[in-house]
Amino acid sequence: MNASTLRAARLLGLRWAFRLLFGLPRPVRRLLAGPLVRRDGQVLDLDLQLLGRVSALLSSADGGTLDQSVLAEQRRQADFAAEVAAPPGPDDIITHDLTLDGPAGPLSARLYVPPSAPALSGLLVYFHGGGFVLGSLTATDPLCRLLAAQSGVRLLSVEYRLAPEHPYPAGLEDAIAGYRGARERAVELGVDPDLIAVGGDSAGANLALVVAHQETAAPPAFVLALYPVTDAGRTGGSRETFGTGFGLTAQTIAELERLYLPDGVPSDDLRGAIVRAEDLSGMPPVYLSTAGFDPLRDEGEELAARLRADGVPVVARRFAGLVHGYASFTAVSAAARDATLDAASALRAALALVGARRSARRRPSSAAG
């Protein structure tokens, strides 16, 4: 049995085990998960509490630590864990792998076309999470399939260079190039260039937000930001309150930020901490979600408040019982799946509204009788 076959068998076995475990009656799952967890006026989702219990049994430390000497293996393990915790995604989505021009060479990308998409549709240019260090097209494939299927919108998942091999601003430069490439090849991709949104989760949400903030000449139509990191180097607040015991730890966040920004946020370049940007008023409409038990919760909600204050239309959602990375846990938590579908609905509605407004502007006025 070769390595690929062994991996597939292991993945299938773990998915079946998870299906059996999380399919148990609620009282049994509660017994296995332990007592109700309350913090900051919130109650942790039962299934995510159980997932945390299982993860703790399978690892030696809460959230783990990054070891640069074995980073390639940690990336493989992170990709595998993402595939286990998320369903495979709808299998009627058509996918095409392609490359885009990047500042340091070709960027790998994957186009997702839902069966409901018209010949010319909107597009979400998507950037995966992983703290700018982990993550891949493979890891985010189930989520991309789900978002494309539920929104009815084409989705282009763009790979970007990762730290520490390629620290800031390499990943951001690739994200900007990915967005520009999508616009340049819109017709080829079956996309209306005026209906291109950007989005991502965690670190990818940071990239999407910064791309939207920077691309003022041809801005995206919409931003979809799931539990974004917005203020590298921050301490206290939710980073302290939820810094241990809920998957992503404050220690891991600090390690990831040091790899991405080894010298900290440049004083003359705040793109690494968008919440500190001087002016956000030119941003397109934003959907921004946070999770109640996420160390990054406060800075995401602070950014939403800053956007509103600068006149940017914002839909801000806090999913109080969820943890960071919930969009990757849709196979085990109904609440996580509902929150992810909320984002897909927001994307569909936002691009439909942009398209309708544009059509109304182009429609000739009726002649007065």
Supply the residues annotated as catalytic. 202, 294, 324
* Cβ-Cβ contacts under 8 Å for 328 (sequence gap 6 or more): 82, 85, 86, 129, 139, 142, 143, 201
Q: How many residues does the chain have?
A: 369
Q: What does the buried/exposed string (b/e) look like for 288-302 if buried means 16 or more CB atoms within 10 Å of the residue's CB?
A: bbbbbbbbbbbbbbb
Where do we find the tokens 């109700």?
A: 36
Nearest CA to 230 among 273, 179, 290, 196?
Answer: 273
Structure tokens, 74? 């940690």
Structure tokens, 167? 């620290």
For residue 186, with 0-12 CB atoms within 10 Å meaning exposed, 13-18 middle and 19 or more buried, which class applies? middle
For residue 187, with 0-12 CB atoms within 10 Å meaning exposed, 13-18 middle and 19 or more buried, which class applies? exposed
Q: What is the CA radius of gyration of the chain?
A: 20
